[in-house]
Structure 1
Amino acid sequence: MAYTQSSRTWKRVDFGGLTSLQLENAEGWEKERRRMPLTDILEVRAGYNTDNLHRAAKHYHFQEAAPDRDKWVSALSYLLSKAKEQRAHFNEEAWIVQKFHEADTNKNGTLSFNEVWSLLKKMNLQISEKYARAYFKESEGQSTRDGVLDEKEFLNFFTRLTDRPELNHLLRMASSDGGQSLTTADLQKFLTEEQDFHNVDVKKAESILETFEQVLQDKQQEKLMGIMGIRRLLQSRWGNILKEGHEAVWQDMDQPLPHYFCNSSHNTYLAGKQMTGEATIEGYIYALKKGARLLELDLFDGEHGEPVITHKRTLIDPITLRNALECIKRYAFETSPYPVILTIENHVGLVQQRVMVLGDLLYLPHPRSAQLEFPSPNVLKKKVLLRGKKLGESNDVPDEIEGDDSPTKPTAPHANVPLDPAFSALISIPSVKLSQNIHADIKKHPKDGSPSLSENKVLSLYEGGSPIFAYTAGRFVKSYPKGLRQDSSNMKPVPSWMCGIQSVALNMQTAGEDLDLNTGLFRVNGNCGYVLKPDILLKGIGWPQNLSSFPSLYQQQSNVFSDPRSVIKPKVKLGIRVISAQYLPKAAPGKDIIDPYVSIQIFGVPRDEFKDKTKVIKDNGFNPVWEEAFEKDLHCPELAILRFCVKDWDSTTTNDFIGEFSIPVSNMRKGYSQIRLNTGFQHNPDESASLFVQILLVPL
């Protein structure tokens, strides 16, 4: 069972042969951590699907069966699924109650002012003690003792303390009489005209009002939505920045596989840096749970007759291929039914190649696959595809780590490993090498052929006016980080996406801006791991008006495909109003109350790139208000990604990361949105931290 320990570290308790989970008596647990909140549990696994359990399973005493294990697994899994459903829509009242119980250190069901004051400091709020005491006194009700608040009184205290004037203004604006409540007709108009939702009739609006406005008037009176109702409404799907329906699979999934961007992992088996440490099956589980559909396996002969996975020319401890494949089979289709691609760098001898078996999950290529259009994600559902070298290829198809930007030289033992014909026949995405003449490659390469391009090669193609767009329109291409990135840092994915490259391999364990953009791109379409490329990368935009800007691109080019950067006329005016934030965390436990500001950045074609920021709000991560507006004309909105990043301003050191959210512009809904931020060291979704914004999208 995995659980979070802090924003930077995590700890694991494995129970396979344990008869019970006695957290109260666990060694190494701090006293206050012996009661573990359900929200801290990340995952429950049955069996031996962890590295530690694989090692421990060799000892007989650890393999003894636990009669109540299945009950534990079933019960915890059920509770986790329910908690996940609840986290999908932030329940502010439930969250406040949770904070009440966390602050109730003596567990007497009430909070003293000192307990409340300590909680407010932890929650990033800087107010005068006199001001807080006055609110506290006004909130005291019928408690059995003076000077304390019970749960209901604390809810009242907290609601008053977190009054949001910006919502009062919104309520007056949306009300037909300029008052502090919405009628059913007001709500319907607000949701359809302002929030851009469709199919909301009066009956639907009435149902929504009843859902979010818990204090209803007499049946004879007209039903109205007040300030708490609109607050709850905006924290639900009706305040989600994604367009209606885009959180599910909504795109056409019947086009050839190369028509889609594919969420891809680099060196999937690594959990840290690339030169030392150990390979781990956790890397595969983590990547698959994050939505990755392309994984990497670097295979070598093992000491005990089985292939192993490791990083060549390093001190990485290996894992067996068998354990990795069992893990992949277990988790491959847990978050998405669409195909998983295994990119194989093969250094395994002929005998050991025959161990590589995935059974019925393995997709067997059509005998004429080189001449046929690639199958679609729908056709390939629940299938695993192998990508790598196969017989018939020339020997000059390079291993990805041995590109021209690698700091190491190839070593002799496995420089040219002979391929087993039986294994070669299983490769459904064969490697090919891109030449200097891409037009010739388009004609001669098999339709299922797939080149791998280093980070530096992508940049040279992108900046040098290469007709790579025509190639990637019909063939699956993968890009990977340069070999100098031994710290597992990530390359910038945007140039690859601008070139139409489907698979941008990123280190899933390395949080940062680059992985945030990847998360943003693939959060749409149900986070299924595949996003349909826009028409501009599939069908082209015709002969560009500013031909002289990119002459080398069009010397041999037809008038079908052209560089997305060549679009001159803007298509959309994007307006961004950053209004406020709620419940921002501190940069790290124990740090001072933050001074937050919001950085707004647009990634895409050069003409659309944009970066600006709000003013700094001093000493308030609890409910800062900015009320600042920005706008930008976009030439290629279908390739633009918007990123909000909240930071803690510091005059003497680097500004600390607080939270972020990234989203493709073409998937944004106009109107008001309560954006849930990704926070912490690993940029994980935060239960409560959010940004309140308004989006305008005006066609030009």
Structure 2
Amino acid sequence: MSRSNHTYFQVCFCFRRRFKAPVSEAPAEIKTLFEQYSENGIMTVDQLQRFLIEVQKEDKPTREDAQRIIDGFKHFRHTGLNLDAFFKYLFSVVNPPLSPSLVAHHDMAAPLSHYFIYTGHNSYLTGNQLTSDCSVVPIINALKRGVRAIELDLWPNATKDNVDVLHGRALTTPVKLIKCLKSIKKYAFVASEYPVVITLEDHLTPDLRPKVAKMVTRTFGDILFCPGSECLKEFPSPESLKRQIIISTKPPNEDLDRKEVKDKETSSVGGKALDEEEGCGKEVPDDKDFDDGDKSQLPAPEYKHLIAIHAEQPKGGLDDCLRVDPDKVIRLSLSEQKLEKAVVTRGKQIVRFTQHNLLRVYPKGQRVDSSNYNPMIGWMHGAQMVAFNMQGFGRSLWLMHGMFRANGSCGYVKKPDFLLNSGEVFDPKARLLPVKKTLKVTVYMGDGWCYDFRKTHFDICSPPDFYAKVEIAGVPADCVMKKTKTIKDNWVPVWNEAFEFPLTVPELALLRIEVNEYDTTSRDDFGGQTCLPVSELRRGIRAVPLFNREGAKYKSVKLLMRFDFL
């Protein structure tokens, strides 16, 4: 190597080091707060406890709580926190914007209809709706994230003697139903112990339903919820259904099944149908595939009895669909288009229907790219199962992720009381609602991009020009977006900007934060995002981690922010 080349690499190496580890300094307001709660440059246990009470609004923090923080961040020569240690504590993972506890804290003893449920659409697709592969991988990923409702489309396989899962009338490659069921059983309760609902879109012939019944009962065994009655009069609670699997689909029309069987003029019956003893108590080992050669052509009441949540599409108009039957509860499905049309004239009627029954909303058929829609339209009308394509990304999916960060990320979020009030039914279209509270958001600074530059795709040799967008998503009266100034050429941007958001329905509001790099010649470059339920924000100064487009958390990228309610 020549001397000139050697010198070049030395300079380049030093340049990269200089920008990979920029010095992060406490903003001016943090320094001022430290001075208020310290003496002679040190914050003692008692002073930190007072800070936790007065600024962080913690619920009865003890001296022991303060001491644990000091023990984790103090400089070895001090008995308290100096400014650097205090700043490191505020900007650390032990100081998140939501409760760090992954434990459900909402009332979980109400009927399922009282909860928003983390719901997937075409959960088996790896990409677009027309040509992508069908696989257990997206099902597993969804369950690991905390999704509690998985959709499977059931079709006869090419030889008509077994069952595949695929998006019908498209070019998607199938995956075996038994593989999907086994994956659901293995991963159902990794992220949450609350029940998983499997919604089946049934395109089966009558002779295949006994096979599906046997697959389901033998795979799930005792964790399969089998109701004692044909149709539930009221839904059980998530608490009572912990670690159970629930099947939801439209019950087969047995008269049509019998006619189809008769039309086939089949005289032979291979195998035998499931009897009562084989119903909900037996299972096969996970490492065995399922193919018992059952060729039964008889209708399968066992399949019907596995359906805990009946999906119905009543004949007639929308009024018939939304009629509340006091003797049973059902699940109704509407496309996003039908919902948007229905809420114009029947908003209160939909809210009333969802107080007792389940409403599932799904993406319109034109979304072949697996994009999603605005989930708020469904949620503010009480729809429990707003079904999303979880394999995509974008603002709508980020809102979905944000909603279900609430309640310990268990996949069930209790609906606000006003959506459950049978007296005065909530009108989501009301424009003159009073402001209940005002959220004040301060964006101090950001850090971590230089450490995650390979994942954030920024040029390590060119510090970005960052700005932050702060947005409220909720009922129409609350929706607003604000933006910070752009900080040029800085890996550690300091904004120190505050925004106020008057909220009429804070119970449904989500705070969405997105950082981008300003670009004068092309589309601004994405720098990270997060979405947080306003109802569960921890007040005070918090370290807010950012996520990539797909919803995966960056290792180092975060913002220092403050949240207050006025």
- TM-score range for the pair, normalised by the shorter chain length: 0.7 to 0.9
SS at match of 1:451: strand
Deviations 1:389-448 (A, max 9, x none): 1146999xxxxxxxxxxxxxxxxxxxxx99632211111111122664648844337533
After TM superposition, the structure 1 = structure 2 runs for residues 467-486 of structure 1, keeping only pairs within 5 Å, are 467-486=349-368
Task: Tell me the amino acid that sits aligned with residue 27 of structure 2.
Answer: P
Q: Does 1:571 align with 2:452?
A: no
After TM superposition, the structure 1 = structure 2 runs for residues 485-504 of structure 1, keeping only pairs within 5 Å, are 485-504=367-386
Structure-2 residue corresponding to 1:308: 164
Q: Does 1:527 align with 2:383?
A: no
Q: Does 1:666 align with 2:535?
A: yes
Q: Does 1:448 align with 2:317?
A: no
Deviations 1:590-616 (A, max 9, x none): 485321110111011111111110111
For residues 588 and 527 of structure 1, what CA distance do their matches in structure 2 show? 29
Cα gap change, 1:334 to 1:642, in 2 (>3 Å) = same
Task: Tell me the amino acid that sits aligned with residue 640 of structure 1.
Answer: A
Tell me which of 489, 495, 498 is aligned to 1:629.
498
TM-aligned CA deviation for residue 571 of structure 1: 0.7
For residues 457 and 100 of structure 2, what CA distance do their matches in structure 1 show? 36
Tell me which of 587, 598, 615 is aligned to 2:485.
615
For residues 617 and 508 of structure 1, what CA distance do their matches in structure 2 show? 34
Tell me which of 81, 100, 112 is aligned to 1:257.
112
Deviations 1:127-162 (A, max 9, x none): xxxxxxxxxxxxxxxxxxxxxxxxxxxxxxx58x22
The CA RMSD over aligned residues, in Å, is: 2.6
> Normalised by the size of structure 2, how large is the TM-score?
0.83
Task: Tell me the amino acid that sits aligned with residue 444 of structure 1.
Answer: D
Contact 1:536 1:564 in 2 (8 A): no
Contact 2:194 2:411 in 1 (8 A): yes
Deviations 1:291-321 (A, max 9, x none): 1111111111113522001111111111111
Tell me which of 95, 111, 117 is aligned to 1:239.
95
Contact 1:309 1:320 in 2 (8 A): yes
TM-aligned CA deviation for residue 480 of structure 1: 0.2
Deviations 1:313-341 (A, max 9, x none): 11111111111111111111111111111
Task: Tell me the amino acid that sits aligned with residue 517 of structure 2.
Answer: D
For residues 291 and 346 of structure 1, what CA distance do their matches in structure 2 show? 25
Tell me which of 221, 225, 234 is aligned to 1:363.
225
Structure-2 residue corresponding to 1:297: 152
TM-aligned CA deviation for residue 216 of structure 1: 3.7
Task: Tell me the amino acid that sits aligned with residue 16 of structure 2.
Answer: S
Task: Tell me the amino acid that sits aligned with residue 437 of structure 2.
Answer: V
Cα gap change, 1:528 to 1:582, in 2 (>3 Å) = same
TM-aligned CA deviation for residue 527 of structure 1: 1.1
After TM superposition, the structure 1 = structure 2 runs for residues 148-187 of structure 1, keeping only pairs within 5 Å, are 161-166=23-28, 169-177=31-39, 180-187=41-48
Cα gap change, 1:611 to 1:246, in 2 (>3 Å) = farther
TM-aligned CA deviation for residue 589 of structure 1: 5.2
Deviations 1:321-377 (A, max 9, x none): 111111111111111111111111111122222222232222112216432x21111
Task: Tell me the amino acid that sits aligned with residue 668 of structure 1.
Answer: L
For residues 695 and 253 of structure 1, what CA distance do their matches in structure 2 show? 28
Cα gap change, 1:226 to 1:322, in 2 (>3 Å) = same
For residues 551 and 17 of structure 2, what CA distance do their matches in structure 1 show? 24
Contact 1:216 1:224 in 2 (8 A): no
TM-aligned CA deviation for residue 386 of structure 1: 0.9
Task: Tell me the amino acid that sits aligned with residue 163 of structure 1.
Answer: E
TM-aligned CA deviation for residue 536 of structure 1: 1.4
Structure-2 residue corresponding to 1:459: 340
TM-aligned CA deviation for residue 173 of structure 1: 4.5
Contact 1:248 1:525 in 2 (8 A): yes
Cα gap change, 1:259 to 1:201, in 2 (>3 Å) = same
> Normalised by the size of structure 1, how large is the TM-score?
0.68
Cα gap change, 1:167 to 1:211, in 2 (>3 Å) = farther
SS at match of 1:518: helix
Q: Does 1:686 align with 2:554?
A: yes
Contact 2:372 2:389 in 1 (8 A): yes
TM-aligned CA deviation for residue 191 of structure 1: 0.7
Q: Tell me, which stretches of 5 or more residues in structure 2 are unaligned?
A: 1-8, 257-296
Tell me which of 383, 387, 391 is aligned to 2:244.
383
Task: Tell me the amino acid that sits aligned with residue 147 of structure 2.
Answer: A
Contact 2:309 2:331 in 1 (8 A): yes
Q: Does 1:334 align with 2:190?
A: yes
Structure-2 residue corresponding to 1:192: 53
Task: Tell me the amino acid that sits aligned with residue 665 of structure 1.
Answer: V
For residues 116 and 523 of structure 1, what CA distance do their matches in structure 2 show? 41
For residues 365 and 299 of structure 2, what CA distance do their matches in structure 1 show? 25
Contact 2:472 2:480 in 1 (8 A): yes
Q: Tell me, which stretches of 5 or more residues in structure 1 are unaligned?
A: 1-110, 124-157, 218-222, 396-416, 541-558
For residues 415 and 299 of structure 2, what CA distance do their matches in structure 1 show? 34
Structure-1 residue corresponding to 2:16: 118
Contact 2:207 2:299 in 1 (8 A): no
For residues 372 and 541 of structure 2, what CA distance do their matches in structure 1 show? 33
For residues 168 and 492 of structure 1, what CA distance do their matches in structure 2 show? 37
SS at match of 1:239: coil
- The alignment-based identity, stated in percent, is 33
How many equivalent residue pairs?
504
Q: Does 1:278 align with 2:133?
A: yes
Cα gap change, 1:368 to 1:326, in 2 (>3 Å) = closer
Deviations 1:492-541 (A, max 9, x none): 1111111110111111110111111111111122211111111111126x
Cα gap change, 1:370 to 1:394, in 2 (>3 Å) = farther
Cα gap change, 1:590 to 1:355, in 2 (>3 Å) = farther
Contact 2:27 2:494 in 1 (8 A): no
Cα gap change, 1:499 to 1:112, in 2 (>3 Å) = same
Q: Does 1:507 align with 2:385?
A: no
Tell me which of 215, 229, 235 is aligned to 2:76.
215
